Structure 1
């Protein structure tokens, strides 16, 4: 197994200057102690702990990288298509500053960053910018907006450590950076599979619709990659019966499962059939992004009645909410049968701006966290399956108040539940520090999942894991300095958090 190399193919010379491309004498590089504690007592300890994890293989079990990227293994497109347009972290910040005098010049909305309108978008929808160099210039001119954000850390890590970028992004350096990246992207060592090897990825899980034919995973398996890139079963659109596209989604499910979905029983049978195909393709988990964590089951008769009403297009909002909670319980029951880990990450109101969603689609940066309750919401599933030897559940949250009050105590007593890593709005340096401080008292380290990156941006995966390893090293260094842990225990814990716990949290389902 190759391990992640933290240096680019062209070694940089250490420099902190913001260099003009016409006068540069040394390329851009990053400080080796970034994100480690500044305290002079803690920093040497943190360095030693981090050194034990820095080059460990990456286990990336919860993400959204498109599997076709690896099945096709074609060169990446232009820098804007790789770094800017698909990354809602970048898009949202640039759009948020579009009217500021110190913001992002030339950006009025998502379309100016290359986001395409949907087919049939409302009349008057602005067309997407089609010039990738212009999109890149807008991003570089807004680089200062990302100061202090994790997006800055991830992006500069990818630019410097992966692509050997010679200068920081800015309006003045945009074209030089663009040309540098175009040159790198044309080289075979920067194709997806080559970078997969270079990043030290041991295992990567994609996230796939429940009705996916898994053809790209089959192509990868034929190439010998079947145990390195595995699918994850994502049935969300099928469990929310008031979605406008629900009937079409169910028709696709039936076609993929080889059955007609005409009632509640055939609906469950089709889901079970597809889960079995995912397991056969190497899947280890399911993924659920419901608004709430409610897992209250219904009587079978009530569930069947709601499903019948949904098939006729007559379901109410209240019935739909009850049915989605019921189906989370059913997904848990199926996980107890087939061994797929149930991942739940509720509490995000998707597509807060309906106009943007109607014109440009979901996942454009307009998803906003809200308060989430877990104690009563998860009680039905945990009472039924919390001690079941074949069931494993990982709960994530973007409501950090719940770490110490609800989720850590739950994970600290139910054997089936693990507390997921800080996710989305919380996978920041301070967010991860707060997580360790809030959760460890009740859950310890070993009732957590270890780090998962939850990213669509392939080139940010090593950056995200590196940041988590640095933050954990700092937290553990403090425990050593305060004589709560010995150094050898801190090193062992760091290795477990970075590598062993993610593998243990997502075991291969046992043969049935």
Structure 2
């Protein structure tokens, strides 16, 4: 069986021998630092209940839209990538192994290969094993008593793991983990109110009614709605949350007066809002979320620019997050300006701006972060959290905003077992970029060692108030 590329100590480091030597030294400085993961989608209940992982396909293939989308693009029907029982699971795994050559050069292939080598200890590249042999080897690993979420949390050296949570979640798992003296990590909730702010969401009206009834302090209408959001944010803060995340279509913000906001709210509740009304109300609520963050201290993160559920038949059959969310161009400079006029220089307000549109890195985001004290550059995410894209990000923003204005790495993953692979890749890329600056005599080597410590460990702690 062939040795996995994931075992090579110089993976992702520069090809030039001199620059690679510098990168090795920088990587060594941060390689064993604890993982700070301030934005992700792992379910807290998985950690709290220490639930055994399912079979290989249910763990590594079916829920991972990075994986299923590329296999589907090769002509495999989506229903062959989602198992309903253990027999189907082996069939899904076979489809995956057959498609493994498609992942060469992709970020998904890199993360998976690293997991197979370092987490599952396969000892060989997947291409050197049969589908059944690899399935059986991973299945055996999943049955080991120590291969449970809590032990892996420790083995992965995770210090902080943030989840993504509905505003009305009771956060029972978070509370249980905080109270459990045997668990030494931090699992923090994140306030994610999209389904309560976006009028176009099919459950918006029902969500709003539940929200007001549950947390509106007896208020009604728009006033009760605002009060309920404020109350639930405080509940999250009281249970360890450090940020509120917003997955909006566009980074638009709008300051409406009370009467106009109330009128739009009631129009939306009556089902009479136009598309323009819906966009205006969501933009206004983004302004309101910033106001609340200034007041309650939650870091505000914005994740715009994705056309969700692009293929309606797939969405209807398999639901959201199944591989057909497609990026599109956005405008940050004009869209975010109303918010920044009032809060861009507010004391202790932290606003982390992400994008799927690489063209705004150097043109808009770096200049914004290079002026406004509140603005930080969100790390490349989703389609951009890949080695070459992360290097492009550093090249695009550093000359304008430096290193101190970025968030630190964000893994943004549901795939718990991929977390160390993703953070390791980021650390190697940061080492590679800094090594080039050292080799070009643009940064001293001593300073590069200080910078990589701050990028990997200092920035996420500082930006997310950890």
TM-score range, shorter chain: over 0.9
Task: Give the match's secondary structure for 2:300.
Answer: strand
Aligned to 2:451: 493
Is 1:287 matched with 2:245?
yes
- Given the alignment, which residue of 417, 421, 431 partners 2:379? 421
Whether the aligned pair in 1 keeps the contact of 2:243 and 2:298 (CA below 8 Å) is yes
Name whichever of 429-438 and 295-304 sits farther off: 295-304
The answer on whether the counterparts of 2:354 and 2:377 sit within 8 Å (CA) in structure 1 is: yes
Q: 2:31 aligns with which of 47, 54, 63?
A: 54
Distance in 1 between the 2:98 and 2:296 partners? 50
- Structure 2 spans left out of the alignment, 5+ residues: none
Residues 349-498 of structure 1 aligned to structure 2 (within 5 Å)? 349-498=307-456
The structure with the largest helix share of the pair is: 2
Q: Residue 244 of structure 1: CA displacement?
A: 1.8
Distance in 1 (alpha carbons) for counterparts of 2:86 and 2:101: 22
User: Is there any run of 5+ residues in structure 1 with no aligned partner, and where?
Assistant: 1-16, 19-25, 99-106, 117-127
What is the aligned-residue RMSD (CA, Å)? 1.7
The 1:258–1:115 alpha-carbon spacing in structure 2 relative to 1, beyond 3 Å, is farther
| Residues 137, 171 of structure 1: 8 Å contact kept | no
Change (3 A) 1:130 1:369: farther
Greater alpha carbon shift after TM alignment, 306-315 vs 156-165? 306-315
Once residues 124 and 388 of structure 2 are traced to their aligned partners in structure 1, the CA distance between those partners, rounded to angstroms, is: 27
CA shift for structure 1 position 168: 2.3
Partner of 1:120: none
Tell me if structure 1 keeps the 8 A contact 2:30–2:452. yes
Which range moves more in the overlay, 280-289 or 241-250? 241-250
Identify the match of residue 65 of structure 1 among 25, 36, 42: 42
Cα separation, partners in 2 of 1:491 and 1:28, compared to 1, 3 Å = closer
Per-residue deviation, residues 5-36 of structure 1 (Å, max 9, x unmatched): xxxxxxxxxxxx53xxxxxxx78862110000
Equivalence map 1:33-182=2 (5 Å):
33-98=10-75, 107-109=76-78, 111-114=79-82, 131-170=88-127, 173-182=130-139
Contact in 1 for aligned 2:6/2:113 (Cα 8 Å):
no
CA distance in 1, matches of 2:107, 2:43: 22
Q: TM-score, normalised by structure 2?
A: 0.96
Return the offset for 1:358: 1.7
* Deviation per residue, 1:118-176 (Å, 9 max, x gap): xxxxxxxxxx9961111111111111000000101111111110110133224951111
In the alignment, the residues of structure 2 paired with residue 238 and residue 114 of structure 1 have an alpha-carbon distance, to the nearest angstrom, of 30
Residues in 2 aligned to 1:226 and 1:305: alpha-carbon distance in whole angstroms: 49
CA 227–157 in structure 1, closer or farther in 2 if over 3 Å, else same: closer
**In 2, Cα distance between equivalents of 1:493 and 1:28:** 28
> Offset of 1:115 from its aligned partner?
6.3
State the partner residue of 2:168. Answer: 211
- Give deviations 1:445-501, integer Å, cap 9, x for gaps: 001111111111111111111001101101100111111111111111111111110
Once residues 260 and 377 of structure 1 are traced to their aligned partners in structure 2, the CA distance between those partners, rounded to angstroms, is 34
* Aligned residues of 1:167 and 1:173 also touching (Cα < 8 A): no
TM-score, normalised with respect to structure 1: 0.88
Find runs of 4+ consecutive structure 1 residues off by over 4 angstroms: 26-29, 258-261
| Mapped pair 1:321 → 2:252 | no
Give the count of matched residue pairs.
465
SS of equivalent residue, structure 2 residue 126: coil
Structure 1 Cα separation of the partners of residues 41 and 215 of structure 2: 23
How far apart are 1:299 and its partner, in Å?
A: 1.6
In structure 2, relative to structure 1, the CA distance for the partners of 1:41 and 1:236 (3 Å cut) is same
CA contact (8 A) 1:290 1:346 kept: yes
User: For residue 337 of structure 1, what is the aligned residue in structure 2?
Assistant: 295
1:43–1:27 CA distance, 2 compared to 1 (3 A): closer
| CA distance in structure 1 between the aligned counterparts of 2:279 and 2:245, rounded to whole angstroms | 18
- The answer to whether the 8 Å contact 1:337/1:390 transfers is no
CA contact (8 A) 2:6 2:114 kept: no
d(CA) in 2 for partners of 1:498 and 1:34? 18
Conservation of the 8 A alpha-carbon contact between 1:166 and 1:177: no
CA deviations over 1:183-207 (Å, ceiling 9, x no partner) = 1111122100000000000100000
Other structure's SS at 1:287 match: strand
Q: Given that residues 160 and 166 in structure 1 are in contact (C-alpha distance below 8 angstroms), is that contact kept between their aligned partners in structure 2?
A: yes
Structure 1 SS opposite 2:146: helix
CA deviations 1:39-98 (Å, max 9, x no partner) are 112110110011101101000001111111101102111111110111000010110111
- 8 Å CA contact 2:4–2:125 kept in 1: the answer is no
Task: Sort the Cα spacing of 1:53 and 1:108 in 2 relative to 1 into closer, same or farther, 3 A.
Answer: same
Task: Select which of 252, 266, 269 maps to 1:308.
Answer: 266
Q: Distance in 2 between matches of 1:148 and 1:427?
A: 13
**1:3 equivalent in structure 2:** none
